[in-house]
Structure 1
């Protein structure tokens, strides 16, 4: 063990030295910028709708979510109660046991408790742990930063479009998580390997599209590895370090990055089981802390709530709000790697694939809760606080942005980014709230990195094999990028990696459309097993 740590440290020393030299950052930025711009240009290629440029990837996500909602007869709303019951374990007895007659059973055909555990029950985490692991990747800095910019760009009415996107995304999550469990693989050591790489390859082979499936699976694996290093790692570390430096007046984020890398290493070495154990504690805590603070502010300003709701509704359908709701909320949110619910990206199905179940649809239904919590609840709380405090304190004018999409604050003329704007809004209501916000940002960033490390390593092992060398090499690279992200500003590298996250949409959504009949069969099988029609 000591030799392993010494080897890792020896490999990291030269990289850590480079991470401190900003001139290296500038050189990388200059050389990488044209390449990043070219990739982003392809992934975010726009088409004109009603005179406005909308990236085709956003159209694919929204159209897919709407189609799945209709195809599954609004399962996102209809099965919400089932989803919460499944998450808290109500159906585990049915899900984890068969009703086959056990040898020597004195009451054959009787109580399920006397039956053997079903052979099909495999997995490493519970429904709740899988959900929190997936949520930890989506509930993050975008809930704080992305919402602020979206509201500033599109006005209060953008909130309506944000909520709609959340509800539609629930249907997409149901489809991809169900497929993630259905086509997962179990290693000799009991570890689970799942996600789009597997359901694209195996599922499309069943439809006599094996060649297409292999190509799409390979593409997705490459994209998820790139995305894990950028939007799922460097951006998170960079923003957490920026908030930390702002609070304590520090110049360098290098030490912060080293500490963050050590904490991440302690967790990810244990794999999805350890990640699930940590996220089931961290995600509820940070969610309750952040939403709780928002509710306190709303409660302190109840007299302003009617006006805020009026602005949200009145502004929901004007041109500027539509631009903010779709472009601001969806682009800023999705691209910032956390504000989005990642429905259609396919990444969350990797975490959900590790659940202990024999009914794939059970986890698909549980997964549908993700966009509801992430977008409908937490992001809406951020939006309400910003709108209410802007009414009360006149912090900024909507759509009053500089060229870099930073908000120009009234009175001071300061140019603030998303995290700063949210901090100002909360500070206006609760003095020195920025301290708690810093804690929230660090926790959000930390939990996002945990889950994205798991997503990335699954893609890495799909490409390079499931041995120890592949495992260790990926984790070393991931920890290195935590430090680089915290101590530098490689904007083009991060933009490139974010583009790779959105590139995951194209192979994934193709697979979802082709395999959705399989999901319908699994859904009906699970609902029949739990007696859903009888419950109704």
Structure 2
């Protein structure tokens, strides 16, 4: 009876929270995710905003994601890192990349791809790859600015990201008032996004996956949430050095696990690989499709890529600004690897697994008419039913790593608004961990819609700044490449 009463109370709380966010902020969500009808399907304007920016930056900087890819690999491998240098910053190139990746490689790579293919068919995969490649230029732009305009505190800690390059960069361009307004707006939005999409959604979906996999009774989400919260607090209390130390170990292992599972499915079904690739390329340009044909595949691929790698959102620039370097462009180049790993590799792996499962079970795309994370899970289990267990581990790892990184992103927005200091930081960290428990304990819809809207509203503010500051990045880029070509930027191994 007590359990039933508690369940009823939780359901009432869920409804009250959904009702509050729907009534108070429904207009905000509708504005950010406003869609226009295109070819029988709806096109989210925010996705177009991100895509156009990625295309412009790709052209403006001369396709750096292709021409400087090898240099980016060498930088992240430490080949240009002086082992005796005491450059300002808190993390290595690899640690900064791992921290940023831990924030983007998350449940969207599992659930989001499943939703995209369920609607847009295999062809959505092709457009995911294209948009992911273009997004590399957006990451290059924002992360170069993140390092150039970061603030080094007396303690040696770093505060950086869009808040700082919007404020200081636009002041240099003669737009100080606009810069201050945009910086405050971004700070507020990154805090809201961190507490929602970067926190509650992650703990909620990880708990749901655990319950489903192990057939656990409901009502104990707070136990899972509390466990997550204790771990997250133990990591973030140590600041960026502690976060980087964890993410540089966690990200490779979760990538190895997930890519290993995906490659196992592909290799064991290698006879279906040619048909899967054919379905992807044919579906990308076919007039017929699951929903909207060519346009349906294009729009779903565009949405999944832009919403997955966060290129243009500005969040990753906060992590990348902590790198130990005196050359801002070095981290801009390292950061362009992020959409490649997140979208071109990991999202494509998910899409291939789903496409192969669909070809095996038919009719494509959904075994049993599933979508989202259920479709992805069923696709893995079509090869081995026990894959549900390592997949659950991957989901938990993805969720926890995302929470750790977004805790740091929100913290930097918090300290920008309220000032630096241990007490101020502790208040935020305790609040963040409290919402980890809340997220795992309740089911909610409108809260997630609102937090997602806050995250993508960040891109509106950020990209305005990127357009205005692109000439600054181009000048830095030209100066840096001149140093590389002349040998002034030394290679050590």
After superposition, give the CA deviation of every residue in 1:326-382 in whole Å (9 maximum; x if it has no partner): 4323435655xxxx1100000000000000000000000000000000000011010
1:432 matched to 2:386:
yes
After superposition, give the CA deviation of every residue in 1:393-452 in whole Å (9 maximum; x if it has no partner): 22x544xxxxxxxx6x43xxxx64411111110011122100000000000000000000
1:307 matched to 2:275:
yes
Q: Select the residue among 6, 10, 18 that pairs with 1:21.
A: 10
After superposition, give the CA deviation of every residue in 1:135-178 in whole Å (9 maximum; x if it has no partner): 00001111111011101110111111000011000000000000
1:389 matched to 2:378:
no
State the partner residue of 1:329. 301
After superposition, give the CA deviation of every residue in 1:16-37 in whole Å (9 maximum; x if it has no partner): x999833222212222222342
Aligned residues of 1:225 and 1:455 also touching (Cα < 8 A): yes
State the partner residue of 1:53. 42
State the partner residue of 1:442. 396
Q: Select the residue among 235, 251, 254 that pairs with 2:222.
A: 254
Task: Report the Cα offset of residue 321 of structure 1.
Answer: 4.5
Aligned residues of 2:132 and 2:306 also touching (Cα < 8 A): no
State the partner residue of 2:3. none
Task: Report the Cα offset of residue 527 of structure 1.
Answer: 2.0
Aligned residues of 2:135 and 2:306 also touching (Cα < 8 A): no
Question: In structure 2, what is the Cα distance between the partners aligned to 1:33 and 1:349?
Answer: 31
State the partner residue of 2:170. 204
Aligned residues of 2:91 and 2:324 also touching (Cα < 8 A): yes
Task: Report the Cα offset of residue 531 of structure 1.
Answer: 2.7
Number of aligned residues: 478
Aligned residues of 1:150 and 1:324 also touching (Cα < 8 A): no
SS at match of 2:142: helix
State the partner residue of 2:451. 497
Quick check: which one's helix share is greater?
2
Question: In structure 2, what is the Cα distance between the partners aligned to 1:179 and 1:187?
Answer: 18
Task: Report the Cα offset of residue 468 of structure 1.
Answer: 2.2
CA distance 1:301–1:532, shift in 2 (3 Å): farther
State the partner residue of 2:121. 155
CA distance 1:175–1:484, shift in 2 (3 Å): same
Question: In structure 2, what is the Cα distance between the partners aligned to 1:267 and 1:141?
Answer: 20
Question: In structure 1, what is the Cα distance between the partners aligned to 2:37 and 2:344?
Answer: 28
1:509 matched to 2:466:
no
> What is the RMSD computed on CA atoms of the aligned residues?
2.0
Aligned ranges 1:190-229 → 2 under 5 Å: 190-229=156-195
State the partner residue of 1:5. none
Question: In structure 2, what is the Cα distance between the partners aligned to 1:135 and 1:229?
Answer: 18
Aligned residues of 2:129 and 2:305 also touching (Cα < 8 A): no
State the partner residue of 2:31. 42
After superposition, give the CA deviation of every residue in 1:238-279 in whole Å (9 maximum; x if it has no partner): 110000011122213111011011011110101111111111
TM-score by length of 1: 0.86
SS at match of 2:385: coil
Task: Report the Cα offset of residue 54 of structure 1.
Answer: 1.8
State the partner residue of 1:138. 104
Aligned residues of 1:235 and 1:485 also touching (Cα < 8 A): yes
Q: Select the residue among 433, 451, 455 that pairs with 1:479.
A: 433
After superposition, give the CA deviation of every residue in 1:103-158 in whole Å (9 maximum; x if it has no partner): xxxxxxxxxx8xxx57xx21000000000000000011111110111011101111
TM-score by length of 2: 0.93
**Considering only CA atoms, is the larger Rg found in Structure 1 or Structure 2?**
1
Question: In structure 2, what is the Cα distance between the partners aligned to 1:453 and 1:122?
Answer: 23
Aligned ranges 1:364-383 → 2 under 5 Å: 364-383=332-351
Deviates more, 1:315-324 or 1:24-33: 315-324
Task: Report the Cα offset of residue 533 of structure 1.
Answer: 8.8
Aligned ranges 1:73-152 → 2 under 5 Å: 73-93=62-82, 117=85, 121-152=87-118
Task: Report the Cα offset of residue 55 of structure 1.
Answer: 2.1
Question: In structure 2, what is the Cα distance between the partners aligned to 1:34 and 1:169?
Answer: 34
> Structure 2: any 5+ residue segments left out of the alignment?
1-5
State the partner residue of 2:422. 468
1:242 matched to 2:212:
no
Deviates more, 1:228-237 or 1:526-535: 526-535
CA distance 1:19–1:378, shift in 2 (3 Å): farther
Question: In structure 1, what is the Cα distance between the partners aligned to 2:74 and 2:50?
Answer: 28
Aligned residues of 1:19 and 1:484 also touching (Cα < 8 A): no
CA distance 1:223–1:82, shift in 2 (3 Å): same
SS at match of 2:285: coil
Aligned residues of 1:91 and 1:530 also touching (Cα < 8 A): no
Task: Report the Cα offset of residue 228 of structure 1.
Answer: 0.2
Question: In structure 2, what is the Cα distance between the partners aligned to 1:223 and 1:74?
Answer: 30
Task: Report the Cα offset of residue 297 of structure 1.
Answer: 1.1
CA distance 1:85–1:478, shift in 2 (3 Å): same
> Structure 1: any 5+ residue segments left out of the alignment?
1-16, 97-112, 399-406
1:69 matched to 2:23:
no
